[in-house]
Amino acid sequence: MKTALILGATSEVALALADQLAAKSVNLILAARNVENILPVKSDLSIRYGITVSVVAFDAANPSTHKHFYESLVPKPDTVICVFGYLGDHTRALTDWEECTTILNSNYVGAVSILNVIANDFENRKEGMIVGLSSVAGERGRQSNYLYGSAKAGFTAYLSGLRNRLFKSGVQVITVKPGFMKTRMLKGMKTSPFLTAQPEKAAALIIRAMHHKKDVVYVLPTWKWIMLIIRNIPEFIFKKLKL
């Protein structure tokens, strides 16, 4: 791993990933829609770790810019971590189409749009690693968040197909399925500490999965077993639950 592109670099998980990758002497391209928010991080990481850090503007919700965004990157990354996402307001989105499309675009359409471009490049170069942060919410639709969940389900299926397509080209595709991570996204929500990863812990688990070239990784690992149970609840029972 020489240069990693982090998409959605203002996320606390992304910042922890940037710090831990920088400590391993990986050069970074930090992409975010609010570039000014990460300029201090750029100087901090480059001074502390002596690596090259660049900061670039990127809006996942603007797919028409994605091809040009990627073509303008010099040097090209050999690792891409797609972190951006948007939980949104599910109840509002049921009646507000704008909120609904923001959820779908930020978690699915935008990711597909940028990763299509990157996948083609990695396939031609016959190298690279693509890491996508999906969610356990994509494993089964629940009444409280099935818009976000369905977008993540689509993203999970997309990453699975990409992994299958790019295997013969030597490109590794990793699906990350977080349960709870203690970030802005969960602000105001109470979650069990046993089921909630701190951003630094989440980043460490993701980097370990990259090192071991895993296909799918749960953050935290306990979520693998929780989701096994949830996936196997019969539908005639599941539909009656308040989830």
CA terminus-to-terminus distance, the chain: 41
Whose CB is nearest to ligand NAP? 85
Beta carbon nearer to ligand NAP, 1 or 61 = 61
Beta carbon nearer to ligand NAP, 59 or 127 = 59
| Residues at the interface with ligand NAP (CB under 6 A) | 8, 10-13, 32-34, 58-61, 83-86, 106, 110, 133, 135, 178, 180-181, 183-186
Q: In what order do the strands lie in the sheet with 3-7?
A: 53-57, 27-32, 3-7, 79-82, 129-133, 172-178, 216-219
For the bound state, the minimum distance from the C-beta of residue 6 to ligand NAP, rounded and expressed in Å, comes to: 10
Beta carbon nearer to ligand NAP, 229 or 237 = 229
For the bound state, the minimum distance from the C-beta of residue 86 to ligand NAP, rounded and expressed in Å, comes to: 5
Task: Say which of 49, 148, 158, 218 is annotated catalytic.
Answer: 148
Cα-flanking dihedrals φ and ψ of residue 159, to 5°? -65, -35
Q: Are 169 and 211 in contact (CB under 8 A)?
A: no
For the bound state, the minimum distance from the C-beta of residue 170 to ligand NAP, rounded and expressed in Å, comes to: 26
For the bound state, the minimum distance from the C-beta of residue 203 to ligand NAP, rounded and expressed in Å, comes to: 10
Beta carbon nearer to ligand NAP, 1 or 35 = 35
For the bound state, the minimum distance from the C-beta of residue 105 to ligand NAP, rounded and expressed in Å, comes to: 7
Spatial separation of the C-alpha atoms in residues 3 and 27, rounded to whole Å: 5
Spatial separation of the C-alpha atoms in residues 114 and 112, rounded to whole Å: 6
Cα-flanking dihedrals φ and ψ of residue 142, to 5°? -120, 150
Q: Are 55 and 103 in contact (CB under 8 A)?
A: no
Beta carbon nearer to ligand NAP, 126 or 184 = 184
Note if 158 is an active site residue: no
Cα-flanking dihedrals φ and ψ of residue 128, to 5°? 125, 165
Q: Are 17 and 207 in contact (CB under 8 A)?
A: yes
Burial of residue 164 (number of CB atoms within 10 Å: 0-12, 13-18, 19+): exposed
Query: Which residues are designated catalytic?
Result: 148
